[in-house]
Chain A
Amino acid sequence: MATALHGVRVLDFSHDWAGPHATRLLADAGADVIKVEYPRRLDGMRGGHLEDERYNRHPRWWQLHRNKRSLTLDLTRAEHRDRALVLVRWADVVVDSSRPGVLDSLGLTWEVMHGQRPDLILLQMSAFGATGPDAQYGGYGGAIEPTSGVEAFTGYEGEERPRRIRELDVTNGIAGACAVITALVRRQATGLGAHIDLSQTEAAISTMAGDAFVAVAAGAAESRPLGNRHPSFAPHGCYPCRGDDRWIVLSVQTDDEWRALCRAIERPDLGTNPQLSHVAGRRQHADLIDDAISTWTRGRGHREAMEELQAGGIRAGAVFDAGDVANDPHLAARGWLLDAEDGSGRYPGAPFKFATDPVVVARRGPFLGEHDMEISTDIISLAPDQVEQLRVSDLGTAFDPE
């Protein structure tokens, strides 16, 4: 089991996707993460159905909360707030993704938590940040992506309506994990805790579109959106392969790569055409080139085309769907997919490999309140009979109308 963050304790008040993705990465790296759940309004990722305990069985939940523990608390109750404060003293890291003020209104301000644990690390990852005129507003990826300006870069060439990329919740989640580890490393060197203000709007701009915004501000931006073309490389695009909805992409960055491509697709005549020997000419005659490439790719499967083109020195890749990934021989050789130790099946791998200890999925995302008893007795020091049983009649979902 990955042990890099062994011994790091995380109290996780976050919900939906971005915050839980941050703590999933921390858990993958070995941290002990307690997911705090409010039974009257379950995390959105637990879905909208209470019957048959469906909220415990969504694959997305198992994935997003793998290697974590679940504790139910009702922070509107004073005695449960006291329990939360015990957990704050236990924790190295607290993660929150609610609107600024929500945790405060439950008595869990930075000042209070910091008072309990002077070297605490508090990560707050709100939609717009903790300060400024928009601080009070909530947001979801579907609103943050267009409002941040990041969405404007993606679309089919020349069309006004942009398309979403997948998925700023995840990239902001990775940024959240980066924030926590930055603070842990600082604390190790200095003993200092930290209060971190992560605006998901700012993080989206800074981590996904930093250079694009520099270009815009400098008046140097290319026209947008560019679809599958590239401002500096040509050809650069997506081409149909044999089969239904099968595609390959390729990118030619240099004139040498262009000649290699012409050899690979058996069109040496294009490779010697002086009009096409430089990128400007290739951009001008993009349609002619795209036709030639498509003629070649249509006769091949997408993986076959990738392997042939890569063997010829071309930057080429099949457009993988989920099934392609699950059956990818390369990922299989790397042991990327993981079989959970608790028998709950196969999971996506981690995005990093330590040489010392491999990342494992010890267990699926927890059932609601699955660890109420052990956390309440081991950490909060309650007697077993002080731990209330969850009642189905007390449960509500994030989808129930107010």
Chain B
Amino acid sequence: MSAPLSHLTVVELGEERGAAYCAQLLATYGARVIKIEKASGDNTRALGPFVRRADVETSVPFLWLNAGKESVVCDVDTAAGQDIVRQLVLASDIVIESFTPGYLEERGLSYDTLSRERRALVMTSVTPFGQSGPYSQYTSDEIVSYATGGGMYLTGDPQREPLNGGVPVASYSTGMVAFFATLSAIFAAGNTGRGDHLDISVQEAMLDNVEIALMEHLHTGRVAKRTGDRHNLVPWRLFRCRDGFAAVIGGPIRKWLGAIDLFNEPKLALDKFRHVAGRMAHREELEALLQPWLDEHDRAEILAAGRERGLAVGVLNQPEEVLLDAQHRARQFFHQVDHPVAGDYLVPGEPYRFTDTPLEPRRAPLLGEHTEKVLAEDLRMPRSRLDDLVDKGVVMLQGSTA
């Protein structure tokens, strides 16, 4: 069966990470995504780490964010380049763009202009702080969005500086939110024939992650503080164990009493620890009672014994270990991708699976790999015109230099 979104065509403009991830998800689920790059390549191509050796084709972030896309090199600061983009958009369903607000308008490529010619067009604009408001021209990157989106204040220890997320939570949340909103508008357009222009702010996408802390503030005035890995419920955190760290989650909470024999500590059966409210009231004492057994056991033993008793235990895995995990192997989650320059590399599979449609992971495009095909086949551009545009530096084919 063909991939779920194989009937959709997308034009991607701009270099914002969340926008790139949105378009990557669209490509992952089968949409045709035409990514417009400048002659020197998307800035992400210069960002390490690299697979095997540093090259414009081997950036790990680029390879991940652009899997399954087509690359067309086209200078949108030229009138001829703008005309190419306009033609591509008018043959597409979706535009994902992440320029500074106003940029596309200055180039005659605003939503209002384009949608006059294609009423069902969905344009999704992704910027650090959205299309309007006093901060709309501000610049950002992941740590700035994690901070202004309320996540960072809640990450790290109470007496130390707030901590950045070690993975780009703001950017990737944005990518998913933009994907959801874009396809919601496509769904609506399927019913009404009318497209939409979506305004996605990375700050606001990040704020979705702290919805409970924010809602509680709005209704109680309380300002949540960061707590290290201390959770309101007890036990509900990482503990040191013999070979690393294990997470003991007293949940489903109602299973706790049936699982405490695990820790070989009779005091855990005391009445004061019976209900989770009592355990919360005696947090330090309760946690100290778990530690001796955890100190004597390694992660695999804790996982097996806890699971046997219905506890939601976990262990701290290093990602190197996760690659070898039996569950992932059984579900063939990690896939090898072959790339003509980077060689082969391993990628995680898609975030959710259509059980009737396995997806084939695809590699990222080489710079300008699809310029010729898209111009000649999609836009039916005569060879002489194509050569002329190459000579003028408006477009670039794969393998030539900027």
| B residues near A44, Cβ cutoff 8 Å | 251, 253
Contact of B267 with A by CB under 8 A: no
Contact of B64 with A by CB under 8 A: yes
Q: DSSP majority for the A interface?
A: mixed
Contact of B327 with A by CB under 8 A: yes
| A residues near B210, Cβ cutoff 8 Å | 166-167, 322
In the bound complex, CA of A155 to CA of B65 (Å) = 24
| A residues near B249, Cβ cutoff 8 Å | 140, 142-143
Q: By the criterion CB–CB under 8 Å, are A202 and B331 in contact?
A: yes
Contact of B184 with A by CB under 8 A: yes
Q: By the criterion CB–CB under 8 Å, are A222 and B356 in contact?
A: no
Contact of A351 with B by CB under 8 A: yes
| B residues near A142, Cβ cutoff 8 Å | 231, 236-237, 247, 249, 312, 314
Contact of A117 with B by CB under 8 A: no
| B residues near A289, Cβ cutoff 8 Å | none
Tell me the A127-165 residues at the B interface (CB within 8 Å).
Answer: 127-134, 137-140, 142-156, 161-165
In the bound complex, CA of A201 to CA of B328 (Å) = 10
Q: By the criterion CB–CB under 8 Å, are B198 and A155 in contact?
A: no
Contact of A268 with B by CB under 8 A: no
| A residues near B161, Cβ cutoff 8 Å | 228, 238, 240, 247
User: In the assembled complex, how far is the CB of residue A186 from the closest CB belonging to chain B, in whole angstroms?
Assistant: 4
In the bound complex, CA of A138 to CA of B250 (Å) = 12
Tell me the B313-345 residues at the A interface (CB within 8 Å).
Answer: 313-323, 326-328, 330-331, 333-334, 345
* Closest residue on chain A to residue B310 by CB atoms: A138
Q: By the criterion CB–CB under 8 Å, are B173 and A171 in contact?
A: yes
In the bound complex, CA of A63 to CA of B218 (Å) = 11
Q: Kindly specify which of B144-152, B290-298, B387-395 makes contact with the partner chain.
A: B144-152
* Closest residue on chain B to residue A208 by CB atoms: B167
Tell me the A306-350 residues at the B interface (CB within 8 Å).
Answer: 306, 310, 313-326, 329-331, 333-334, 336-337, 345-350
| A residues near B52, Cβ cutoff 8 Å | 218, 220
Q: Kindly specify which of B69-77, B96-104, B185-193, B373-381 makes contact with the partner chain.
A: B185-193
Contact of A224 with B by CB under 8 A: yes
Q: By the criterion CB–CB under 8 Å, are B143 and A249 in contact?
A: yes
In the bound complex, CA of A326 to CA of B213 (Å) = 11
| A residues near B205, Cβ cutoff 8 Å | 351-352
Q: By the criterion CB–CB under 8 Å, are B207 and A196 in contact?
A: no
| A residues near B78, Cβ cutoff 8 Å | none
Q: By the criterion CB–CB under 8 Å, are A185 and B183 in contact?
A: yes
User: In the assembled complex, how far is the CB of residue B227 from the closest CB belonging to chain A, in whole angstroms?
Assistant: 9
Q: By the criterion CB–CB under 8 Å, are B167 and A165 in contact?
A: yes
Contact of B116 with A by CB under 8 A: no
User: In the assembled complex, how far is the CB of residue A245 from the closest CB belonging to chain B, in whole angstroms?
Assistant: 8
- Number of chain A residues close to chain B: CB under 8 A: 155
User: In the assembled complex, how far is the CB of residue A26 from the closest CB belonging to chain B, in whole angstroms?
Assistant: 9
Q: Kindly specify which of A81-89, A175-183, A372-380, A386-394 makes contact with the partner chain.
A: A175-183
Contact of A51 with B by CB under 8 A: no
Checking B50, B208, B331 against A131 with a beta-carbon cut-off of 8 angstroms, the contacting residue is B331
Q: By the criterion CB–CB under 8 Å, are B164 and A249 in contact?
A: yes
Contact of B5 with A by CB under 8 A: yes
In the bound complex, CA of A199 to CA of B304 (Å) = 20
Q: Evaluate whether A171 and B155 lie within 8 angstroms (CB atoms) in the complex, with A62-B215, A238-B162, A334-B132 already known.
A: no
Tell me the A92-145 residues at the B interface (CB within 8 Å).
Answer: 123, 125, 127-134, 137-140, 142-145
Q: By the criterion CB–CB under 8 Å, are A398 and B356 in contact?
A: no
Contact of B305 with A by CB under 8 A: no
B interface, size bucket? 35 or more
Contact of B157 with A by CB under 8 A: yes
Kindly count the residue-residue contacts between A and B in the assembled complex, taking CB atoms under 8 Å apart: 501
* Closest residue on chain B to residue A359 by CB atoms: B181
Contact of B60 with A by CB under 8 A: yes
In the bound complex, CA of A128 to CA of B303 (Å) = 14
Scoring B164, B200, B253, B351 by chain A CB atoms within 10 A of each residue's CB, the highest score goes to B351
* Closest residue on chain B to residue A171 by CB atoms: B173
Q: By the criterion CB–CB under 8 Å, are B165 and A165 in contact?
A: yes
Q: Evaluate whether A208 and B352 lie within 8 angstroms (CB atoms) in the complex, with A163-B156, A399-B275 already known.
A: no
Q: By the criterion CB–CB under 8 Å, are A198 and B327 in contact?
A: no
| B residues near A402, Cβ cutoff 8 Å | 254-255, 257-258
Q: Evaluate whether A251 and B312 lie within 8 angstroms (CB atoms) in the complex, with A29-B184, A181-B183, A208-B172 already known.
A: no
In the bound complex, CA of A240 to CA of B333 (Å) = 42
Q: By the criterion CB–CB under 8 Å, are B352 and A228 in contact?
A: no
User: In the assembled complex, how far is the CB of residue B62 from the closest CB belonging to chain A, in whole angstroms?
Assistant: 9
Q: By the criterion CB–CB under 8 Å, are B348 and A206 in contact?
A: yes
Q: By the criterion CB–CB under 8 Å, are B25 and A178 in contact?
A: yes
Q: Evaluate whether A161 and B238 lie within 8 angstroms (CB atoms) in the complex, with A59-B219, A178-B351, A227-B163 already known.
A: yes
Contact of B83 with A by CB under 8 A: no
Tell me the A198-212 residues at the B interface (CB within 8 Å).
Answer: 198-199, 201-203, 205-212
In the bound complex, CA of A7 to CA of B188 (Å) = 10
Scoring A41, A140, A154 by chain B CB atoms within 10 A of each residue's CB, the highest score goes to A140
Contact of A64 with B by CB under 8 A: yes
| A residues near B7, Cβ cutoff 8 Å | 189
Q: By the criterion CB–CB under 8 Å, are B317 and A147 in contact?
A: yes
Q: By the criterion CB–CB under 8 Å, are A334 and B166 in contact?
A: no
Q: By the criterion CB–CB under 8 Å, are A194 and B356 in contact?
A: yes
Q: By the criterion CB–CB under 8 Å, are A320 and B148 in contact?
A: yes
In the bound complex, CA of A166 to CA of B149 (Å) = 11
Q: By the criterion CB–CB under 8 Å, are A4 and B207 in contact?
A: no
| B residues near A316, Cβ cutoff 8 Å | 144
Checking B60, B173, B326, B355 against A196 with a beta-carbon cut-off of 8 angstroms, the contacting residue is B355
Q: List 23 A-B contacts (CB under 8 A).
A: A6-B188, A163-B229, A165-B167, A166-B155, A171-B172, A174-B176, A208-B167, A210-B347, A211-B65, A213-B334, A215-B60, A238-B161, A249-B143, A314-B139, A320-B148, A323-B223, A325-B150, A333-B133, A334-B201, A336-B204, A351-B204, A355-B199, A399-B277
Name 14 extra pairs, CB < 8 A, besides A320-B153, A321-B153.
Answer: A48-B277, A60-B212, A140-B249, A152-B316, A217-B347, A228-B161, A240-B161, A315-B139, A317-B147, A321-B150, A325-B207, A330-B135, A336-B207, A399-B276
